[in-house]
């Protein structure tokens, strides 16, 4: 099928590349000229494991094209994905201006036979009908009559395992009023539904939830709000564990084995971040507020998370007392491992708070340190090696659970430090190993 993906960020590029890999004819459109030039030269503008290789093979097979020309993409595609960013406004509302610009663009150049416009961006409830209205306005202005429908197809991929998640989804959600649109979407995803590209091809087909537009939009927000709440819950339990002397990692195991609870998203630490949870939870709170409903549980989820990020600073103060003039080294900057995404990373708040208290902050991150880019970071010196990071530090803080951090030579790092203190913000390291390496180890609720 002919597919156009508009917006080639973490979601759009992965979607386009994966759909091309399974045999569709894909054109990806982005208005960032530099990004498009890079992709046309065969390079991925983002770090995502396995993406560059797949991008190259799909391009070589002639299934994948990149352009800045929206008209070309829209007129070529029969299925048009909108996958642009939907960040938060300072009020917590969703900034839908990029979606609006794309919908207007589509309306101004849509032609040909029946088309399906797919909202893959996470958009406020009601956006499906809103996009339809904007496209229709454009068509009317140009005196065009094109038969089209809008589908909500929220994305659940995780950065760091986005390719795997696309080929092995837990479910596919499709929301639309149109049977014709749903049937084309089912045809598009058939190889994925039938698990032809899955790790385990013997599993039953991927469940597809077919629903109305608003429910599909709400499913995305409810999923992220639930996961964020689960993390805030275990963090609250961890804080109680810290006080009563229990070990939250054991609690997580003990409750996670209950099939009604499940073991995922029960790792206590410095809280959730990234480009999705914070903005999606806040958008849902805002939507509820628009309808006169106060989201007490979701407000608490956010508040627990805000406080949790700064628990690192409290623990440092408890151990080092005055932080003014102390040097703190952060292991990790990105909001999670295997990504270069720094959006709303807990490390950023920790850096700000440490700076406010007069500490000097250094950091090492496997991706950020090597990229040579400072990702808009202020108040931190990014070191090129863990040895340089540890040199002269009063404490190390593990902020991102990069796998590389499991196998560092901690005994050597302890030697280089002023005081061998490590705060493990992800409960990722083995406390006994750290002790043997000469560290005073402190975790979160353990």
Residues 143, 144, 147, 153, CA torsion sign:
negative
CB of 249 vs ligand NAD, minimal distance in Å: 26
Q: In three state form, how does the secondary structure of 199-243 look?
A: CCCCCCCCCEEEECHHHHHHHHHHHHHHHHHHHHHHHHHHHHHHH
Q: One of 4, 28, 241, 276 is an active-site residue; which one?
A: 276
At 98, phi and psi to the nearest 5? -75, -35
Judged by CB under 6 A, the residue of 55, 83, 304, 395 near ligand NAD is 83
CB of 45 vs ligand NAD, minimal distance in Å: 7
Is residue 377 near ligand NAD by the rule CB under 6 A? no
Judged by CB under 6 A, the residue of 4, 51, 84, 313 near ligand NAD is 84
Residues 6+ apart with CB under 8 A from 406: 428, 429
CB of 101 vs ligand NAD, minimal distance in Å: 4
Nearer to ligand NAD, 41 or 244 (CB): 41
Q: Which residue is nearest to ligand NAD (CB)?
A: 9
Active site residue 109: no
Residues 23, 24, 30, 34, CA torsion sign:
positive
Is residue 125 near ligand NAD by the rule CB under 6 A? no
Contact 77, 3 (CB under 8 A): yes
In terms of Cα–Cα distance, which of 231, 311, 239 is closest to 274? 231
Is residue 275 near ligand NAD by the rule CB under 6 A? yes
Rounded distance, CA 111 to CA 338, Å? 40
Is residue 76 near ligand NAD by the rule CB under 6 A? no
Is residue 357 near ligand NAD by the rule CB under 6 A? no
Contact 105, 31 (CB under 8 A): no
Size of the site for ligand NAD (CB under 6 A): 26
Nearer to ligand NAD, 102 or 417 (CB): 102
The owner of tokens 């038969």 is: 147
CB of 51 vs ligand NAD, minimal distance in Å: 12
Contact 192, 172 (CB under 8 A): yes
Is residue 298 near ligand NAD by the rule CB under 6 A? no
Q: How many Cβ atoms sit within 10 Å of the Cβ of residue 373? A: 12
Is residue 30 near ligand NAD by the rule CB under 6 A? yes
CB of 31 vs ligand NAD, minimal distance in Å: 4
Judged by CB under 6 A, the residue of 27, 29, 139, 393 near ligand NAD is 29
Is residue 211 near ligand NAD by the rule CB under 6 A? no
Is residue 48 near ligand NAD by the rule CB under 6 A? no
Element counts in the chain: helices (H) and strands (E): 18, 14
Nearer to ligand NAD, 274 or 445 (CB): 274
Residues 6+ apart with CB under 8 A from 389: 329, 330, 331, 362, 363, 364, 383, 396
Is residue 39 near ligand NAD by the rule CB under 6 A? no
The owner of tokens 């530099």 is: 34
Nearer to ligand NAD, 101 or 186 (CB): 101
Contact 381, 328 (CB under 8 A): no
Contact 319, 345 (CB under 8 A): no
Is residue 27 near ligand NAD by the rule CB under 6 A? no
Provide the angle, in degrees to the nearest 10, between the axes of the packed helices 346-356 and 311-320: 40
Which range in 52-60, 80-88, 172-180, 291-299 contacts ligand NAD by CB under 6 A?
Answer: 80-88
Contact 193, 199 (CB under 8 A): no
Is residue 396 near ligand NAD by the rule CB under 6 A? no
Is residue 155 near ligand NAD by the rule CB under 6 A? yes
Is residue 160 near ligand NAD by the rule CB under 6 A? no
Residues 6+ apart with CB under 8 A from 352: 379
| Cα dihedral: 323, 237, 346, 50 (round 10) | 140
Which range in 48-56, 59-67, 151-159, 374-382 contacts ligand NAD by CB under 6 A?
Answer: 151-159
Is residue 31 near ligand NAD by the rule CB under 6 A? yes
User: Would you give the binding string for ligand NAD spanning residues 92-111, x where CB under 6 A is met?
Assistant: ------x--xx---------
CB of 217 vs ligand NAD, minimal distance in Å: 11
Give the interface with ligand NAD as residue ranges (CB under 6 A): 6-12, 29-32, 35, 83-86, 98, 101-102, 121-122, 155, 157, 159, 275-276
Residues with catalytic roles? 276
């Amino acid at each position: 099928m002919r597919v156009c993906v508009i917006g080639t960020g973490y979601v759009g590029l992965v979607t386009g590349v994966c759909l091309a890999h399974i045999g569709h004819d894909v054109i990806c459109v982005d208005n960032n000229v530099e990004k498009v030039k890079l992709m046309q030269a065969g390079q991925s503008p983002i770090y995502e494991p396995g993406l560059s290789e797949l991008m190259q093979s799909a391009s070589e097979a002639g299934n994948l094209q990149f352009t800045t020309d929206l008209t070309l993409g829209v007129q070529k595609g029969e299925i048009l994905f909108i996958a642009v960013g939907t960040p938060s406004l300072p009020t917590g509302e969703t900034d839908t201006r990029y979606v609006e610009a794309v919908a207007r663009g589509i309306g101004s150049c849509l032609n040909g036979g029946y088309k399906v416009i797919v909202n893959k961006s996470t958009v406020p409830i009601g956006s499906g009908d809103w996009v339809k209205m904007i496209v229709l306005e454009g068509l009317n202005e140009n005196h065009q009559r094109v038969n089209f429908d809008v589908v909500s197809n929220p994305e659940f991929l995780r950065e760091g395992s986005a390719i795997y998640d696309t080929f092995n989804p837990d479910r596919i959600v499709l929301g639309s009023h149109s049977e014709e649109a749903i049937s084309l979407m089912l045809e598009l995803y058939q190889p994925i539904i039938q698990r032809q590209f899955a790790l385990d091809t013997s599993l039953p087909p991927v469940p597809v939830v077919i629903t109305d537009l608003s429910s599909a939009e709400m499913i995305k927000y409810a999923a992220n709000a639930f996961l964020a709440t689960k993390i805030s819950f275990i963090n609250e339990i961890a804080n109680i564990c810290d006080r009563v002397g229990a070990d939250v990692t054991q609690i997580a195991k003990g409750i996670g084995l209950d099939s009604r609870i499940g073991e995922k998203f029960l790792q206590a630490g410095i809280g959730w971040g990234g480009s999705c949870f914070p903005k999606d939870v806040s958008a849902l709170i805002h939507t509820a507020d628009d309808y006169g409903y106060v989201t007490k549980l979701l407000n608490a989820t956010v508040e627990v998370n805000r406080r949790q990020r700064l628990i690192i600073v409290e623990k440092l103060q408890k151990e080092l007392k005055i932080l003014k003039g102390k040097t703190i080294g952060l292991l990790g900057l990105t909001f999670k491992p295997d990504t270069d995404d720094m959006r709303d990373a807990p490390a950023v708040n920790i850096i700000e708070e440490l700076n406010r208290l007069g500490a000097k902050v250094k950091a090492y991150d496997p991706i950020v340190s090597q990229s040579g880019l400072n990702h808009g970071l202020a108040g931190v010196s990014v070191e090129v090696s863990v040895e340089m990071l540890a040199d002269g530090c009063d404490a190390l803080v593990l902020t991102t659970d990069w796998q590389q951090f499991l196998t560092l030579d901690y005994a050597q790092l302890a030697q280089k430090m002023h005081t061998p203190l490590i705060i493990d913000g992800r409960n990722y390291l083995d406390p006994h190993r750290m002790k043997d390496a000469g560290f005073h180890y402190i975790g979160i609720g353990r």
